[in-house]
Amino acid sequence: MSRERALDAARAARDAYATNGSIVSAIFCADKARALSGDGDEDALALAELLRRDGQHRRASAVASVGEGSRASARWRLLRGRCALALRAPEECLRALGEDESGTEEGVGGAARETEEARATRLADGNRADAAAMCALRGRAYDAMENRARATRAYALALRFDPMCYEAYDAVLSGHALSESEEGALVDSLVVNEENAWIKEVYAVLSNVRDVESELLRDSALGEEDASSQPTTSKSASDVLKTSGDVRIARARRLYDRGEFAACYTELRLQYDVEPSRLDGMPLYFATLVELGKKNDLYLLAHSLVDEYPKKALTWFGIGCYYMATKQFDQARKYFSKATTMDASFVQAWIGFGHAFAAQDESDQAMAAYRTAARLFSGTHVPVMSIGIEYQRTNNLSLAYQFFRKSFEISQTDPLLYNEYGVLLYREGQYESAAQHFERALELAPTQMTSRWESLIVNMAQALRKVGRYDDAIAYFEYALSITPRAASTYAALAFTYQVKSRCTEPRALGLAIEYYHKALSLRADDVFSQHHLELALIDQSAITMPRHEQVDWNVDFPTSDDMAVTPELDGAQRDRDATPDQHGVFPTPSPQSFRGTPTMGRTPFSTRGDASEMDQSVDMDQSVDMDESD
């Protein structure tokens, strides 16, 4: 057989096995094709690429380095750079990509040096897709060196070359390198044509920007029903793309951010029933299972990941989530720490690590984890907000204020942030401002409230009570009870609001206060606050409903000596038997007009007309209940 025919057969077998996934056979045939071609560039590149796919990065790098002077094209640079990065040598990756060549500043003697975009174009031989791939790889190398600013610039340049370079956009999102407004500006800056205009809408949905209007965010189940009745050729791009995996996961994440955990779980189940091992949405899935308390699902899912991906940080993050759900916080910290060790860029693991410390009131360690997350992921407000929460919990309100304000610089669409900041303002006595922030949080929260938001509604009611808007406060307390009907503290707060209202504007509200204090005590008998204020309310009620009496006019004219004279005909015993009080003069004789008819018992100011003018004016309502000690 001639050498040429043998080479053709080896190349054909290499391509066939590479296509059907038989990497070992493909590598064997590629090696023989390389030998038969005399180490030709085409065959050497094919062999190196197959070795890289098989995880043999050092051997692939060695193949790509032979005859490096003639192998300086973009494809060779990308191959050597990827191998170097896989071998944890980011500096070598940058050198392979030509990073040590001309830069963006002035050169020696004041000669202008080429721009970063021009250099990337030159190194990619004018191919925009290759230039985008090289910029994205350069960004990953800078990320490995924790140079976030240069990494972000490289990713943005990759998207400028080619908006379809999802690797760069995904790195921006997962690394939380940009704030919400900056992410929105990046998407708006993308230059697309009619054929790939859909990529801009998809990127907007995938972004961390919360306030996004898109057809892709419409309920996927409804979209599938509508689409099923249409022929395939008549479906729009949005109808088809809204059921794709990453769009569905993005839609679920937005439900999670609004606290709609049940809906988020339903959306994720639709996806994982189709793709059980899809990893990019798994952290969100774990967080949702924790919120819903699905411990069995967490246990089974974490164990399946241990079997399939024992070397991935996501696996140990899932185990940590299971222990968080079961409140075994020591074990949760252990596995969150392991996840961050395996992948330092795993932002969810860092935040979970901090939450596990915070759950055991270990604020210093919690804030250390949050600070690391805030340093590594400057585009997310969650670790910064968490630091503020910890400072507020330890009564360091001035530092809490600073971190909350920093969080607002990153995100202004998180209802939890507005709630926490409102609590801080409430504690500082700024009740009007606190109510405004609670109101903004309610605007951002979901329309269908769940028990997660019950505390926000109660906070709003407390702030309204403090500013004297009692009717509004009562309405919010009742709203909170419609969500969580067995909350003793909410009943006590509602009762206290009625009690304050009875003192200030409407005395008849005291009866409702007593009723709700009893409900609170029926749910929690040892509630000292309710016991104390119920006693005060009952005292007030007794004072208000006490029947009216007028002062008795006593006869203070004592009898004279003549009146006190003893009749001689009667002996002492007979005199005592026949004597009357008038005769003795010991008891005063009441005037016939001394008493008036006693009002009918039970006719209180709360009955019939309930006019407050019927109330005994001698009762000092301001002194009846000491509201200041708890209000």
Concatenating the DSSP letter of every residue in 146-200 gives T-HHHHHHHHHHHHHH-TT-HHHHHHHHHTT-S-HHHHHHHHHH----STTTHHH
Q: Please enumerate in sequence order all residues whose Cβ is within 8 A of that of 74, keeping only pairs 6 or more positions apart, or say none.
A: 123, 124, 125, 127, 130, 131, 133, 134
Question: 204, 214 in Cβ contact below 8 A?
Answer: yes
Q: Residue range 334-349: average pLDDT?
A: 93
Instruction: Write down the pLDDT at residue 555.
Output: 52
The average pLDDT across 248-271 equals: 89
Instruction: Say which DSSP state 577 is in.
Output: H
For residue 587, count CB atoms less than 10 angstroms from its CB and return exposed for 0-12, middle for 13-18, buried for 19 or more: exposed
> Does residue 582 register a pLDDT over 60?
no
Sign of CA dihedral 189, 190, 194, 199: negative
Mean pLDDT (the chain, rounded): 81
Angle, CA of 578, 579 and 585, to the nearest 5° = 175
Q: At what angle do helices 397-410 and 415-427 cross, to 10 degrees?
A: 150
In the chain, what is the greatest distance between 2 CA atoms, to the nearest angstrom? 169
Q: How many CB atoms lie within 10 A of CB 558?
A: 10
% of the chain exceeding 90 in pLDDT: 55
Residue 472 clears pLDDT 60, i.e. is over it: yes
Secondary structure (3-state) at 628: coil
494 pLDDT more than 70: yes
More confident residue, 131 or 234: 131
Token pair listed for 112: 């202008």
pLDDT at 17 (0 to 100): 94
Residue 421's pLDDT is 96
Asked whether residue 372 carries a pLDDT value surpassing 90, the answer given is yes
In terms of Cβ atoms closer than 10 Å to its own Cβ (0-12, 13-18, 19+), residue 475 is middle
| Residue where the block lists tokens 């998407």 | 187
Position 87 scores a pLDDT of 93
C-alpha 239/C-alpha 347 separation (Å) is 32
Place of tokens 């380095």: 65
Residue 356 or 39, more confident: 356
Pick from 391, 413, 418, 415: which is nearest to 402 by CA? 391
Under the banding of pLDDT at 50, 70 and 90, the label for residue 576 is very low
Tokens of 97: 């990509």
Helix (H) / strand (E) containing 484:
none
Confidence of residue 567 (pLDDT cuts 50, 70, 90): very low
DSSP 580: -
> Is the pLDDT score of 572 beyond 60?
no
Q: What share of the chain is helix, strand, coil (3-state, %, to 5)?
A: 65, 0, 35
Place 397 in a pLDDT band, splitting at 50, 70 and 90: very high
The predicted pLDDT at position 219 comes to 61
- Whether 336 and 353 have beta carbons less than 8 Å apart is answered as yes
- List of residues 6+ apart from 283 with CB closer than 8 A: 314, 317, 348
> What average pLDDT score do residues 520-547 get?
88
Q: In sequence order, which residues have a C-beta less than 8 Å from that of residue 21 and are 6 or more positions away?
A: none
| Mean pLDDT of all residues in 543-564 | 55
Query: 599 pLDDT exceeds 50?
Result: no
pLDDT computed for residue 500 by the predictor: 92
**585: number of Cβ within 10 Å:** 17
Q: For the chain, what percent of residues have pLDDT higher than 70?
A: 80
Which helix (H) or strand (E) segment holds residue 265: the answer is helix 261-272
Average of pLDDT values for 329-342? 95
pLDDT at 526: 92
pLDDT of 630:
43
Query: For 3-16, what is each residue's pLDDT tens digit?
Result: 889 999 999 999 99
Which DSSP state fits 612? G
Buried b (16+ CB within 10 A) or exposed e, 419-447: bbbbbbbbeeebbebbbebbebbbebbbe
- Whether the pLDDT of residue 292 is over 60: the answer is yes
**Cβ-count burial 588-602 (b if 16+ within 10 Å, e if not):** eeeeeeeeeeeeeee
- Whose CA is closest to 374, among 130, 220, 179, 205? 179
Res 374: pLDDT = 92
Query: 177 falls in which pLDDT band (50, 70, 90)?
Result: confident
Which CATH number applies to 325-545?
1.25.40.10
| For the ranges 65-69, 269-273, 541-545, the one whose mean pLDDT is highest | 269-273
pLDDT at 602 over 60: no
598 pLDDT above the threshold of 50: no
By mean pLDDT, which of 224-228, 413-417, 524-528 is the weakest? 224-228
> Is residue 507 pLDDT above 60, yes or no?
yes
Three-state SS at 553: coil
Q: Which of 7-21, 136-150, 209-223, 433-447 has the lowest mean pLDDT?
A: 209-223
Predicted TM-score (pTM) above 0.85: no
* pLDDT computed for residue 548 by the predictor: 60
Across residues 358-380, what is the average pLDDT?
92
pLDDT in tens, 416-443: 999 999 999 999 999 999 999 999 999 9
With 70 as the cut, is the pLDDT of residue 577 above it?
no
Reply yes or no on whether the pLDDT at 528 is more than 60.
Answer: yes
Q: What is the pLDDT of residue 502?
A: 87
**Exposed/middle/buried for residue 10 (C-beta within 10 Å: 0-12, 13-18, 19+):** buried
Q: Residue 143: pLDDT above 70?
A: yes
Most confident option among 91-105, 244-258, 517-531 = 517-531
Q: Assign 174 a pLDDT band (cuts: 50, 70, 90).
A: confident
What are the start and end residues of each CATH 1.25.40.10 domain in the chain? Answer: 325-545
Residue 123: predicted pLDDT = 82
Query: What's the pLDDT band for 457 if we cut at 50, 70, 90?
Result: very high
- Predicted local distance difference test score (pLDDT) of residue 428: 94
Query: What is the rounded CA–CA span in Å between residue 321 and residue 332?
Result: 7
Could you tell me if 444 and 414 are in contact, meaning their C-beta atoms sit under 8 angstroms apart? yes
